[in-house]
Amino acid sequence: MGSSEEEGLTEGPLSTTFSKQTNLHSAEICKKSNIFFSVFLGPIQWIQTLSSQLNPTFVIGIVTVYGVNHGFAGSFFKVVTDYYWKDVQKVQPSVVQLYIGLYHIPWVMKPVWGLLTDVFPIRGYRRRPYFVVAGILGCASALMVALIGNLPASLALIFLTGAAAGMAIADVTIDACIARKSIEVRSLAPDMQSLCGFCSSAGALIGYSTSGYFVHHLGPQGALILLAIPPVFITVLGFVIYEMKSSSLHSEKQKKMEKLGVAVRGMYQTIKFPQVWKPSLYMYVSLALSISTHEGLFYWYTDPKAGPAFSQEFVGIIYAIGAMASMVGVLIYHKTLKDVQFRNLLFFAQLLYGTSGMLDLLFILRWNLVLGIPDYFFVITEECLSRIISRIRWIPMMVLSTRLCPIGIEGTFFALLMCIDTLGSLTAKWGGGMTLQVFHVTRTDFTNLWLVVLIRNILRFATLGLIFLVPRLEQSDALIPPDILTKNSTVKSDDEGLELVPKNER
pLDDT in tens, 196-216: 888 888 898 898 888 888 988
d(CA 300, CA 30) in angstroms, rounded, equals: 53
Band of pLDDT at residue 416, cut at 50, 70 and 90: confident
Nearest to 69 by CA among 242, 234, 201: 234
Q: Please enumerate in sequence order all residues whose Cβ is within 8 A of that of 229, keeping only pairs 6 or more positions apart, or say none.
A: none
SS3 label, residue 43: helix
Residue 31 has pLDDT above 70, yes or no: no
Confidence check: pLDDT of 494 > 60:
no
| pTM for the structure as a whole | 0.67
Distance CA(488)–CA(501), nearest Å, equals 9
How many whole angstroms separate alpha carbon 176 and alpha carbon 241? 13
Q: Check pLDDT > 80 for residue 264.
A: no
Reply yes or no on whether the pLDDT at 503 is more than 50: no
Return d(Cα 391, Cα 71) in angstroms, integer: 13
Q: Which range has the worst mean pLDDT, 37-41, 311-315, 362-366?
A: 37-41
3-state secondary structure 337-369: HCCCCHHHHHHHHHHHHHHHHHHHHHHHCCHHH
Whole-angstrom distance, CA of residue 316 vs CA of residue 312: 7
Q: Using CA atoms in the order 346, 176, 331, 55, what is the torsion angle rounded to 10 degrees? A: 150
Please give the domain boundaries of the chain with CATH numbers for all domains: 54-246+254-505 (1.20.1250.20)
- Span 217-245, mean pLDDT? 88
pLDDT over threshold 80, residue 330: yes
Residue 27 has pLDDT above 80, yes or no: no
Q: pLDDT tens-digit profile of 438-454?
A: 999 988 889 999 999 99
Where is pLDDT greater, at 62 or 123?
Answer: 62
Those residues with Cβ within 8 angstroms of residue 70's Cβ, 6 or more apart along the chain or in another chain: 167, 171, 199, 200, 203
Q: How confident is the model at residue 35 (pLDDT cuts 50, 70, 90)?
A: low
